[in-house]
Amino acid sequence: MTISVAIAGATGYAGSEILRLLLSHPAYLGGHLRIGALTAHTSAGKNVAELMPHLPQLADRVIADTTIENLRGHDIVFLGLPHGRSGAIAQQVGQRTTVIDCAADFRLRSKADWENFYGGDYSGSWPYGIPEVPGNRQALRRTNRVAVPGCFPTAVTLGVLPAVAHGLIEPSLTAIAITGVSGAGKKASVAQLGAETMGNLKAYKPGGTHRHTPEILQNLQPFVQEELTVSFTPVLAPLTRGILATTTAELKEGIGKREVESAFGEFYAQEPFCRVLPAGQQPETQNVVGTNMVHIQAHVDERARRLVVTAALDNLCKGTAGAAVQCMNLTLGWEETLGLPQAAVAP
């Protein structure tokens, strides 16, 4: 059986990264996965060679318009569209098709959170695409609707989750995440111009105002009985790809280095895409670029009695497209790691 795949928003950063990964997927190379319709809006009618020359295998393909007619009939549809556009397409594409949404439309379980942070019509929630969070993997294996997580929530959640789940810290977290400019997408924006970003660092949407805040809380709250708070601030850096998230919290009484090392080591012992680094080695974005990996370090600040967790990932791979392909593998019953790089390009 050959699986057919369509990508809506194929010329955006998320869509083109999904294509990059699929072109090296063993199922594609073995003839068991076919790349079908590639759609977009403003770039419809142009060919891949012009828009995405880094994908030579698809150079002769022409980008179609994003219509239901062009997406119907595929086994899997990836949606790499702006927030608020996926709901209508998902309703019309048909229940036999697996839909994997890379936008925020189906991430939040709270209608109130959606209205407060995004606005517009609330589409509901789908199984959430961080398989490493306990309970998610089983749900993803039984669904044909997947909400791919935000890149910041992936970094913060996977970084601090072992400490939250093992009760090592007080339920009040502060997270600061440095991100590359590709996280804002491919749309034209003065704030993303080279002249505005090169040689510059800028915090934005600070302390609870960024729309990924409720997503982080939604991921972590089920693992603690007390009410959890997260103060999250992103920082824009002159990088193309990468997120480095630092999350701090007060350690609970009696918790030290031994308990932290044990908890983190056990939690991710069987997770192929989460690597807890040896003591003293800090995550670096250059070591995860192009991969589906998350590198994590948990440091105990003994004088301040705080845990300092750093996590690095590629916002376009594990933060978006890699997560989407990982979830596709799970929904199809395939080996979860297929087509997903673990080794980065160095130097």
CB atoms closer than 10 angstroms to residue 205: 13
306-332 as b/e: b if 16+ CB within 10 A:
bbebbbbbbbbbbbbbbbbbbbbbbbb
Q: Tell me which amino acid residue 303 is.
A: R
Q: Which residue stretches of 120-201 are H helix?
A: 136-141, 151-165, 194-197
Phi, psi (deg, nearest 5) at residue 152: -65, -50
Record the tokens describing residue 14, joined without a space: 């998320």
Record the tokens describing residue 188, joined without a space: 């034209």
Do residues 100 and 324 touch, judged by C-beta distance below 8 A? yes
C-alpha span between 89 and 249 (Å, rounded): 41
Choice among 151, 274, 317, 327 that is catalytic: 151
Annotated catalytic, 151? yes
Could you tell me which residues come within 8 angstroms of residue 163 by beta carbon, excluding any fewer than 6 positions away?
169, 249, 260, 263, 264, 298, 307, 309
Q: Which residues are catalytic?
A: 151
